Amino acid sequence: MGTATLPTANAVSVGIHALNTSGTTVKVTFHELKQQMEYVPVEAESSVGIELKTPASIASVAKRPDPEFIKLVNRIRELEQRSKTIDSTTPDERQKLMDDTRGLLSDADDPLKVRLVLAFASDLSRQFEQLGEYDNAIVVYDLAIETLQSVEDEMVKRMTTSLLKYRDRLQSKFNMIGKPIELDGETLSGVDFSWQDYQGKIVLVDFWASWCGPCRSEIPNVLKQYERFHEQGFEVVGICLDSNRQVAEDYVKTEGLPWLSLFQDEAGWKHPMAIRYEVHSIPTAILVDRDGNVVSVSARGDELSKLLEARFAVQENNQH
């Protein structure tokens, strides 16, 4: 087996898009290869070394049969299929998936295999994170990091450093659950914000920016939930990470957002609230209960709807 080498120290993540086998050929299609903050699609055929030459986006490698590599690829494919329905699996099935992932990681015995297995493990962690299961997501990252630390390869060592940082950020998010959160600053209109005005409310704290595609996509859902539950005590507070006040104001007006957003001129990612709560990606949606404690740090999409329905259903039952 050869090793997969990349020419830049800034390459920090590789994700698998597809894995296919045909005879003695293994075709691996990568996506999310991050180089100097740019995403470059890469295709590679074979089970040996990958050499990416900037600015080429296609990596060519020699074709050699490697039965063990093909077996590993097929195991990854099988685990990927099982992970696609992870939200509907039983606790025992999830534990089996975790155990099989641990076995897969332990069997990755060279840098190229490690990188392929790591891509699956990273995707699995993100799936757990999206479900709000931060403990499971952290366990998968810990397993991956443990495997990486035993591999003597410079690129793998850099990947390990990146994973450790992401894992720590995830742990920081997880640690917020059950604890109080406080907001302060100025709104887009330049008025001092009062977190005290939201006492006794269920509040979605939404970190967003007008240039953020996923943020824009989530707005219709947040508006829908706001219309459903606002009269029962649901509020939204935005934390805008735009740098230009006029751009942010225009966006709020165009979308018809009825809630307040905090803003600081030219701050962007350095907004004090983003720094305080270590927000490194958006949208970040934090749901706070009536006691002011965090109940979720991934309150988006169907998850937001389920969380609100559960809490307001309890309220309705108490009133009857």
Output the pTM of the full model.
Answer: 0.60
CATH of residue 292's domain is 3.40.30.10
Average pLDDT over residues 275-301: 89
Q: Is the pLDDT of residue 108 over 90?
A: no
Ranges 70-74, 154-158, 316-320, most confident:
70-74
Q: What is the DSSP letter of 278?
A: T
Q: Indicate whether 12 and 152 sit together in one domain.
A: yes
**212 and 300 housed in the same domain:** yes
State the residue range of the domain holding 152: 4-176
Assigned domain for 189 exists? no
In a 13 Å sphere around the CA of 18, the CA atoms on its Cβ side amount to 9
Number of domains in the chain: 2
pLDDT of residue 226: 96
Q: Pick the last residue of a domain from 176, 203, 238.
A: 176
Q: Is the pLDDT of residue 146 over 60?
A: yes
Query: Based on the domain organization, do 47 and 105 belong to the same domain?
Result: yes
**Quick one: average pLDDT of 77-85?**
87
Residue 90 pairs in a beta bridge with: none
E strand intervals along the chain: 4-5, 15-22, 25-35, 38-45, 50-51, 202-208, 234-240, 260-262, 284-288, 294-296
Of 4 and 104, the structure prediction assigns the larger pLDDT to: 104
Based on the fold, state whether residues 160 and 77 are members of the same structural domain: yes
pLDDT grade for 132, boundaries at 50, 70 and 90:
low
On whether residue 287 sits in a domain, the answer given is: yes
Q: Do both 167 and 257 map to the same domain?
A: no
Task: Say whether both 137 and 205 belong to one domain.
Answer: no
pLDDT tier at 188 (50, 70, 90 boundaries)?
very high
Q: 2: closest CA among 43, 37, 51?
A: 51
Phi, psi of 43 (to 5 degrees): -120, 140
pLDDT of res. 279? 84
> 239 and 210 in one domain?
yes
Is pLDDT larger for residue 273 or for residue 65?
273
**Looking at the domain assignment, is residue 188 inside a domain?**
no
User: What does the pLDDT look like over 6-34, one tens digit per residue?
Assistant: 333 333 334 444 444 444 444 554 444 33
On whether both 28 and 144 belong to a single domain, the answer is yes
Domain end: 176, 203, 229, which one? 176
Instruction: Assess if residue 90 is contained within a domain.
Output: yes
Say yes or no: 41 and 169 in one domain: yes
Q: Does 187 map to a domain?
A: no
Q: Give me the pLDDT at residue 193, please.
A: 95
Calculate the CA dihedral of residues 34, 37, 41, 43 and round it to 10 degrees.
-40
253 and 305 fall within a common domain: yes
Question: Is there a single domain that holds both residue 207 and residue 149?
Answer: no
* Average confidence (pLDDT) over 267-292: 90
Closest CA to 126 of 278, 13, 216, 27: 13
> Which pLDDT tens digit goes with each residue over 155-180?
777 777 777 777 887 787 778 889 99
* 127: in domain: yes
For residue 251, what pLDDT is reported?
95
Tell me which of 162 and 184 has the higher pLDDT.
Answer: 184
Average pLDDT over residues 51-59: 39
Q: Is residue 315 part of a domain?
A: yes
Range name among 96-100, 110-114, 246-250 with the lowest pLDDT average: 110-114
161 in the same domain as 74: yes
